[in-house]
Structure 1
Amino acid sequence: MSKLPEDKPVLVTCGLPYANGKAHIGHLRTYIPADIYVRSLKKRGKEVTFICGSDTHGTPVVVNAEELKMTPKELVGIYHKHFYEIFRSVGVTFDAFGTTDDPENHNRTLDIVNRLIDKGYVYPKVIEIAYCPACDRFLPDRYVAGVCPHCGQNARGDECDQGCGKHLEPGELKDPACTICRGPAQYKEQEHFFFKLSGFKDFLLEHLEHLEGTSNARNYALGWVKQELTDWCITRTLEWGVKFPGHDDLVVYVWVDAPIGYIAFTEQWAKANNESWEKFWKGDCPIVHFIGGDIIYHHCIFWPAMLKGADYSQPWAVVSSGMVKIEDKKFSKSRGYVVWVQEDYLDHGFHADLLRYYLISYTSHTKEVNFSWKVFQERINTELVAVLGNFLYRSLLFDFKNFGEIPAGKISPEVMEKIKSIIDEVTVAMEEFEFKKAIDTAMSLASFGNSYFQSNEPWKLIKENREACAEVLANCMQIAKALILLFEPTLPEKMEVAWKQIGMNSDVHTAGYEEALVPVNAGTTLSNPSILFDKIEDAKIEEMTAISNERIRKAFAKEAGISEEEPAVVPLKDQITYEDFSKVDIRVGKILTAEKIKKSKKLLKLMVDVGEPKPRQIVAGLADYYQPEELVGKVVNVLVNLQPAKLCGVESQGMLLAADAGERVSLLTPDKEMKPGSIVR
């Protein structure tokens, strides 16, 4: 892994939130680590520009606006302000935060598209587009739903969101239906414009080999590029968006103008600060993109190819986060597995810094974060309260009560060496985008501080040797100073308070890591410290869990078509005859092996013994509910006379039977020991 160039400014961007709905914790999985990274770079003396903005075009915005009976511009205005305020409330501070409907983005998009046209990278082509005869309109992207041609799962017009996750081009869906009137759609011919993505394969292979960031982004993109790259339709039949040059009936596809927003927002920053945007986008200053794992394809394949074709600079790194689960279930707004930042977190009095800590410390950046109120409570109480907060408060309180100032005393070489080594380790971890490792390393200094305080027993020394006690406390203040600087990127508001508590008058946000190695000033007056982190009580967690459970219950009832007054029982299907049932062949099976399917987030490939000479290969949508190792050895019920089907390119020769309660799924198993192949009647 290469280091950032020492003498060049850095541009850091975050994937743009859609300005069509409220901010939830899933959003913050990207923005908080990016903000922590930026603050850490500044602590190292780096010149960093941090930009983002609202994604305002595309069908999700238009669909929501139509449902709310307002214009897209009105909807965008509401949610652009919402995200701006939410980001500020959780300590994420951008140098520029624009919208993709700003004039700068329209102009920059047209510049890039025209460059691609002039260089022969864009061409017209007549294709079949889904059309709704009832609504009398063409159906781009999320206006149409159907069946994925690759894996057979239900999918929306631009992405197989329920199955393999692959980007879908207009006209690819099978059995298209209008998402507005729910009626069947048909395919009609219309002229659109395509970007010659297929011509950039060799470039992309080389670009990805040298791309810095997280390996999940690089490897995922390489996997797709090594397969056949198809040209990319970059126009849509919409009124809202950036008009395609010379065609008022078409707009540029949102995944063209949205990333160009990075350039437009850099221009806005440059204009406001008398700076140059070209040093990043036409020069060699590094660009670091922070994105969610669901948009790797766009940022590592489409985006660099477009930039290359239009003679712009390439990103230096792409940092892709893992997704977020809620209470160990797949994140789903429709099923109630969501935590809204404002009403579920901030409005209940939880401090933003606690959430920042939880999201960065829970696991590696590329892995899934599970947000659980109980686990949240445990992590805050056992780490921030019991370790970091405990050391800072006990040291400061003892010092204040017995000296009222930072006492004179030699700072131990061991303490200074420990601080230096921790800073070095944190710096390396941040360079490698290993944020959990960085925060765990910083927390180890707090553990060291607690051990140092405890082993030196200042409560005894103050009675026996005041000078020795003063030296111990001076060292504790040195450790405290280092901890505050190390934790400021993650806990900016709390560490600002702590900085003042140790008598510092400078700005903790601009103070660098090197300040941690400057000895504390003896004689600095201390005030009576306050507790930085309060313990989260069980009653509060029970309250939040009850709110979460009620949301899930209501979502399940709505999904099942049950009114609030009725019990949540799913309506029965139409009756069948015994003759109908007798056609079904169900056998007892034993799962021999289970593994994930690379191209799918939901599917597992199983080998199941159903009493035949050879085991059967079965594809099951169980990845959200079971780990593969949990399934091996399970005795299950298998529908064996189901016609074989291919899911994500893998043939499935049967179906496992399971109970589905909406929020959970449980495989049906015999209650007594049964041999594989036993008939289920």
Structure 2
Amino acid sequence: MSKFPSDKPVLVTCGLPYANGKAHVGHLRTYIPADIFTRSLRKTGQEVTFVCGSDTHGTPIVFNAEELNTTPKELIKIYHKHFDETFKQMGVMFDAFGTTDDQTNHDRTTDIVNKLIENDYVFPKTIEIAYCPSCDRFLPDRYVKGTCPHCKEEARGDECDQGCGKHLEPGELESPTCTTCNGPAEYRKQEHFFFKLSEFKDFLIEHLENLGGTLNARNYALGWVKQELTDWCITRNLDWGVRFPGHDDLVVYVWVDAPIGYIAFTEEWAEANNESWEKFWKEDSRIVHFIGGDIIYHHCIFWPAMLKGAGYSQPWSVVASGMVKIEDKTFSKSRGYVVWVGEDYLDHGFHPDLLRYYLASYTSHTKELNFSWEVFQDKINTELVGVFGNFLYRTLLFTHKNFKEIPAGEIKQETLDEINSTIEAANEAMENYEFKKYADAAMALASYGNSYFQSNEPWKLIKEDKDACGEVVANCIQLAKALCLLFEPILPEKMEDAWKQIGMSTDVHEAGYAEATELVNAGTPLEKPSILFEKIEDEKTEQMEAIASARVKEAIAKQSGKEEKEEPKEMKELITFDDFSKLDMRIGTIVSAEEIKKSKKLLKLQVDLGEEETRQIVAGIKESHSPEELPGRQVLVLANLAPAKLCGVESNGMVLAGTDEDGKAILLQPEKGTGAGNSIM
């Protein structure tokens, strides 16, 4: 039985692109699978509404506008148009694409905040806010940086983006610094408003245990909820944003009004189509959120609690993608490890559908995806050109040359069974958000078609028994029809072309999976086919790799230049030998290593320090070392460091490390193997 019964309205949303920069491949990891999912559901006969919009509020918008000497309103116009056009170019077709600065969103946000106030879920509280005496202003979110109180990594005002990933409340950062003037900030008292998130703990546990989507979203959120839930500050000191009711000096926090945009965009769609937005947000529905893995906390904890408190329907499913790497390097715009959708892909003549296929078929949706030009070339040439494209072209060219039309012939039950079993497998994969499994199932049917064509040798049959040859060809075209329908969600533009080439006069985007086994019409004239997928030559791949390499070198040069201009670091205070002798430094042997799921940087190590003493030590080396490679390695350990908790895990010591030119950890180790526990002199 389908998870999406036809009597339940389905709404699909995507995490909102932030309107202060260009679209890159990392963005598409969310939007293309969501578009594929929406198209596929429609092919089952399900009515689906697909909405999104630009996230236009918050400090980064204001920050960037100030740097560019423009206004936030003018800045968001530029990037909203950019994303709207880029999505359409990439075949991502939203039913509504608005902005969170639309009046509809201002009104809906105000309504929901007022409802939360009426229901006693919002209260005022005087708290300490970072304030820059030099700039003479309070510092919300991106205007302040400092040290995360949980994992001690560098963090920005509302999120530990470099360490444990935890949401941070105003006043939590340690050693705050103004990001505008880089001067020290101080904490001053001010009244703000809080949402009683702590009251929703029991509700959230039940909600998350029944939430559909991907396990990474549900399990990550459950881990946080089962710990302590703190009340959430929902106001900020900004002029740009949605005004907090009754307070002209405050706006609501961007993570309040951004997800409310999902409702506002649904309202705009409903008004334009004489439809109801309440059937999604006030009744029993199927709301499916596609998001990046970095915003699970907001969508699975804050958002459902807000909706519950204001009397709205809950998300039914949250689908969180894995992160994106570029050429096996951590995605980083500042370091040059980025692929821009426009200048690096579309502007070089690559067809949008090729990238859609790569993103869908490279790996499971929740796993880390690596974009590599060499792997991209190989997947396109081997699979789309060598398997699927080869089957379509050889079938249609042979048919045109020998019959000029779809020949008469019985469509074998074996052919129909193969199609039906593929559609069944594809539907199951799609309902479980397994886009790679869906793509693999469709490609397996193309492989079956190639084998069928090859084994029946129609080039011989045409000379011996034209009717028998016609039957083979008719079965191949039936398979081609099914493949067009199966691949349309992934390759919409290419399948529009292929659909016409097999003689179909209907709209492939409107055609459902059920039509795959409707028999092709003998006598339908076929034009000479064109090749759908062109091979990517080595020269083109080398050109793209050279562009990528040059970008990285330029980024390194900029960083080096910046470092050269910086003042030399001051030497730390001199210590005596007595001070040094207080350090208990020993040789340790790593016994085991495992990931700390809540952290991007930390690993939990068990380290043998000799004399049957094994210490648990948390080390920030996850980005440079995998857990599998560490057991057996000897390291230098500061053994008498006071115990500390990092991401909730106790650490009893410190593993000593340096850093390379990319800032990655380099473990310090003895010149040669020695006994665990030996002292460092």
Is TM more than 0.5 here? yes
1-side partners of 2:360 and 2:350: how far apart? Answer: 17
Aligned to 2:210: 210
Aligned to 1:499: 499
Q: Which amino acid aligns with 2:596?
A: I
Cα distance per residue 1:463-515 (max 9 Å; x no partner): 22211111111100000000010000000011111111111111111111111
Aligned to 1:463: 463
- 1:272-287 → structure 2 map (5 Å cutoff): 272-287=272-287
Cα distance per residue 1:115-153 (max 9 Å; x no partner): 111111111111000000000000001110011111111
Aligned to 1:354: 354
| Long gaps (5+) in structure 2 | none
Q: Which amino acid aligns with 2:589?
A: K
1-side partners of 2:634 and 2:26: how far apart? Answer: 36
SS of the residue corresponding to residue 130 of structure 1 reads strand
Aligned to 2:336: 336
Aligned-residue RMSD, C-alpha = 2.3
- 1:237-636 → structure 2 map (5 Å cutoff): 237-561=237-561, 587-611=586-610, 613-636=612-635
1-side partners of 2:351 and 2:632: how far apart? Answer: 45
Cα distance per residue 1:543-569 (max 9 Å; x no partner): 222222222222233334458xx9x99
Aligned positions, number = 678
Note the C-alpha offset of 1:599. Answer: 1.9
Deviates more, 1:614-623 or 1:49-58: 614-623
Deviates more, 1:85-94 or 1:599-608: 599-608
Q: TM-score, normalised by structure 2?
A: 0.95
Note the C-alpha offset of 1:9. Answer: 2.5
Q: Which amino acid aligns with 1:391?
A: F
Compared with structure 1, are the counterparts of its residues 357 and 274 closer, same or farther at alpha carbon in structure 2 (3 Å cutoff)?
same
SS of the residue corresponding to residue 289 of structure 1 reads strand
- 1:29-68 → structure 2 map (5 Å cutoff): 29-68=29-68
Note the C-alpha offset of 1:177. Answer: 0.5
2-side partners of 1:274 and 1:406: how far apart? Answer: 43
1-side partners of 2:663 and 2:484: how far apart? Answer: 42
Compared with structure 1, are the counterparts of its residues 465 and 576 closer, same or farther at alpha carbon in structure 2 (3 Å cutoff)?
farther
Q: TM-score, normalised by structure 1?
A: 0.95
Note the C-alpha offset of 1:327. Answer: 1.6
2-side partners of 1:328 and 1:284: how far apart? Answer: 43
SS of the residue corresponding to residue 345 of structure 2 reads helix
1-side partners of 2:346 and 2:390: how far apart? Answer: 24
2-side partners of 1:523 and 1:451: how far apart? Answer: 25
Aligned to 2:135: 135
Q: Which amino acid aligns with 2:592?
A: T
Deviates more, 1:552-561 or 1:203-212: 552-561
Compared with structure 1, are the counterparts of its residues 572 and 375 closer, same or farther at alpha carbon in structure 2 (3 Å cutoff)?
farther
Aligned to 1:111: 111
Cα distance per residue 1:645-669 (max 9 Å; x no partner): 4422331512232441207554455
Compared with structure 1, are the counterparts of its residues 18 and 3 closer, same or farther at alpha carbon in structure 2 (3 Å cutoff)?
same
Cα distance per residue 1:409-441 (max 9 Å; x no partner): 110100001101111111111111111111111
Note the C-alpha offset of 1:636. Answer: 3.8
Cα distance per residue 1:369-414 (max 9 Å; x no partner): 1111111112112111111111111111111111111111110100
Q: Which amino acid aligns with 2:398?
A: F
Note the C-alpha offset of 1:670. Answer: 5.2
SS of the residue corresponding to residue 158 of structure 1 reads coil
- 1:647 correspondence with 2:646: yes
1-side partners of 2:580 and 2:150: how far apart? Answer: 33
Compared with structure 1, are the counterparts of its residues 659 and 185 closer, same or farther at alpha carbon in structure 2 (3 Å cutoff)?
closer
Checking the alignment, whether the CA contact within 8 Å between 1:110 and 1:245 is kept in structure 2 is yes
Cα distance per residue 1:192-212 (max 9 Å; x no partner): 001111111122122212211
| Long gaps (5+) in structure 1 | none
Checking the alignment, whether the CA contact within 8 Å between 2:639 and 2:652 is kept in structure 1 is no
Checking the alignment, whether the CA contact within 8 Å between 1:560 and 1:570 is kept in structure 2 is no
SS of the residue corresponding to residue 170 of structure 2 reads coil
1-side partners of 2:199 and 2:640: how far apart? Answer: 45
Note the C-alpha offset of 1:280. Answer: 0.8
2-side partners of 1:275 and 1:450: how far apart? Answer: 46
Cα distance per residue 1:134-174 (max 9 Å; x no partner): 00000001110011111111110000111110000000111
- 1:107-256 → structure 2 map (5 Å cutoff): 107-256=107-256
Q: Which amino acid aligns with 1:468?
A: A
Note the C-alpha offset of 1:639. Answer: 5.0
Compared with structure 1, are the counterparts of its residues 422 and 193 closer, same or farther at alpha carbon in structure 2 (3 Å cutoff)?
same
1-side partners of 2:283 and 2:378: how far apart? Answer: 47
Identity %: 71
Note the C-alpha offset of 1:625. Answer: 2.3
1-side partners of 2:614 and 2:554: how far apart? Answer: 41
Note the C-alpha offset of 1:616. Answer: 3.2
- 1:662 correspondence with 2:656: no
2-side partners of 1:570 and 1:412: how far apart? Answer: 78
Compared with structure 1, are the counterparts of its residues 576 and 171 closer, same or farther at alpha carbon in structure 2 (3 Å cutoff)?
closer
2-side partners of 1:570 and 1:391: how far apart? Answer: 64
Checking the alignment, whether the CA contact within 8 Å between 1:142 and 1:157 is kept in structure 2 is yes
Note the C-alpha offset of 1:573. Answer: 7.9
